Amino acid sequence: MALYVQKYGGTSVGSIERIEAVAERVARTRNAGHDVVVVVSAMSGETNRLLDLARQIAPDPHPRELDVLVSTGEQVTIALLSMALNKRDISAISYTGSQVGIKTDNSHTKARIQDIDGARMRADLNQGRVVIVAGFQGVDPNGNITTLGRGGSDTTAVALAAVLKADECQIYTDVDGVYTTDPRVVDKAKRMEKITFEEMLEMASLGSKVLQIRSVEFAGKYKVPLRVLSSFSDGPGTLITIEEENAVEQPIISGIAFNRDEAKLTVKGVPDVPGVASKILGPIGRANIEVDMIVQNIGVDQTTDFTFTVHRNDFKKAIGILEEVAQDLKAESVVSDDKIAKVSLVGVGMRSHAGVASTMFDTLAAEAINIQIISTSEIKISVVIAEKYLELAVRALHTAFDLDEKDVQEEHYPPAP
C-alpha cells in the first residue's frame, strides 16, 4: 500500500522494553499492509559510553578507529529489534550501513553520504521483509567504516527514503511533533500540523532541537515528506513538506525559536576604512570559529564599533584572538558579553505581511526588554537580548502573534532547564 521509512532515536530504543514497544509499532504498520524500512540509533547513552572508553585509552583517539568503535552501538540495536520482530512472526533482517551500501566520503566522524545502493533493500521489501538499518554510519571508497556526525541517523533515514522513493519518512522521537516554540517555556505552545521545509530549516538552525539541520536540508533537496511523531503516544505528529502543500492561508508566524548558547563581542573604536571587517573576522574564521550575527555601526569620527556573536563554547578563544587584532588595528578596546540569547520569529507568511518587525519590537519594548542586535531574512527576524529576559520575551511574542493554544490539554514535559 505504501512504503514508510521509520527512524527511532536513542531514547526510543533506550531499553529492552522500549525496543519491544518499537517492534509493536513497526509490526502494526507491517500488518496494515505497508512496506517498512526502519533506521535506528544506538541505545540512549551508549554512544557516550563508547566515546568515554576511547578517551580513557587516548585523549585524542584516531578518527578511523573511533568510527569503528562508535558504529557498534547501532549494530546492537538493529539486531535486537530484528529479533523482537521475528519473535512476532514479522520477517525482518538487519543491516549495518556498509552492508546496505551507504557509500560516503572518507571524512571520519563527519562523513557525507555520496551514494546508496538500494537493490538489497528493494529485494527484501519485495519478499515481505522489514529492513532494519543502522543509522549514523556508512563505508568509504576504501571499505573503511565511517560515521556521519551529529544528526547522522536522521540523515540516514531521509537518504534511504529518497533512494527508495518512500511515501513518507517518519522520525519518531520523544515529542509528538514540532511546536510553535518549546512547550517547557510556553505551556500554551501548539503542535503544528504542517510546516514547510524552509521554515523547519530556519527553526533547526536557530535553536529548535527536534530535527537536525542536515536531515531537513536533505529532505528539502529531494522532496522527501517528513513527519515528526512520538514513540510513546499515538497521534498525527507534524508533517514537514513543500510550501505548495501547505494551507492556502499561511499564518504570518509559524514558530519562535531561541538559542541560549550565544556570546557577543565588540571591537570598539576601529578605524572606519575598507577591509576592516576582513581584518577582524579573518583570524576568527581561520580559528574555525563560526560567526552568527554581525553589526557594524556608522563611524562619525573616522572610527566604528564592530559587533558579532559566536557560540558560547568559542567565547574565550574568540576574546584572545580579538585582543591581538585590536592591538594591530589600534582599536580602543574589546567588550564582551556571554549572558545573551537569540530569539527568532520564523514564518513564510512574512513575505506577504507587513508590520511583523514593528509588532515584535513593540512587544519587547512593552516588557522593557532591550534589543542589542537585529538580523532579518525573507522569513525570519532574529534579535539578541539579555539572557535573563529570554523566557519572558518568548512568552510575550508567542501571545502577541496569536500562537497560544486556545484549549490547552494537559501534556507531560520535562521541567524547564
Could you read off the pLDDT of 148-160 as tens digits, one per residue? 987 789 999 999 9
Residue 368 pLDDT > 60: yes
**Range scoring the smallest mean pLDDT among 145-159, 182-196, 395-409:** 395-409
Confidence band for 357, pLDDT divided at 50, 70 and 90: very high
CA trace torsion 11, 12, 14, 20 (10° rounding): 170
Confidence band for 205, pLDDT divided at 50, 70 and 90: confident
Beta-strand pair 130-134/168-173: unpaired
User: What mean pLDDT comes out for the span 58-75?
Assistant: 95
More confident residue, 119 or 213: 119
Following DSSP, what letter does each residue of 94-161 receive, concatenated? EE-TTTTTEEE-S-TTS--EEEE--HHHHHHHHTTPEEEEETTEEE-TTS-EEE--TTHHHHHHHHHH
For residue 313, report the phi and psi dihedrals to the nearest 5 degrees.
-65, -25
User: What mean pLDDT comes out for the span 370-389?
Assistant: 93
Could you read off the pLDDT of 319-335 as tens digits, one per residue? 999 999 999 988 889 99
For residue 58, report the phi and psi dihedrals to the nearest 5 degrees.
-145, 125
The rounded percent of the chain whose pLDDT value lies above 70 is 94
Residue 36 pLDDT > 60: yes
Confidence band for 207, pLDDT divided at 50, 70 and 90: low
Residue 411 pLDDT > 90: no
Confidence band for 413, pLDDT divided at 50, 70 and 90: very low
N residues, the chain: 417
What is the rounded distance in angstroms from the CA atom of residue 77 to the CA atom of residue 10? Answer: 9
What is the rounded distance in angstroms from the CA atom of residue 95 to the CA atom of residue 133? Answer: 5
More confident residue, 244 or 251: 251
pLDDT of residue 250: 62
What ranges make up the beta strands (E) of 220-372? 226-230, 238-241, 255-271, 291-296, 303-311, 333-346
What is the rounded distance in angstroms from the CA atom of residue 80 to the CA atom of residue 109? Answer: 25
Handedness of CA 408, 412, 414, 415 (dihedral sign): positive
Rounded to the nearest integer, the mean pLDDT of the chain is 90
142 within 8 A of 106, measured Cβ to Cβ? yes
User: What mean pLDDT comes out for the span 303-320?
Assistant: 93
Task: Indicate yes or no: pTM above 0.85.
Answer: no
How big is the chain by its Cα radius of gyration, in Å? 24
372 within 8 A of 378, measured Cβ to Cβ? no
Indicate the helix (H) or strand (E) that contains 245.
none
What is the rounded distance in angstroms from the CA atom of residue 147 to the CA atom of residue 135? Answer: 9
User: What mean pLDDT comes out for the span 334-351?
Assistant: 92
What is the rounded distance in angstroms from the CA atom of residue 340 to the CA atom of residue 371? Answer: 10
Confidence band for 138, pLDDT divided at 50, 70 and 90: very high
Residue 209 pLDDT > 80: no
C-alpha cell recorded at residue 10: 536513542
- The residue written with cell numbers 536531515 in the block is 215
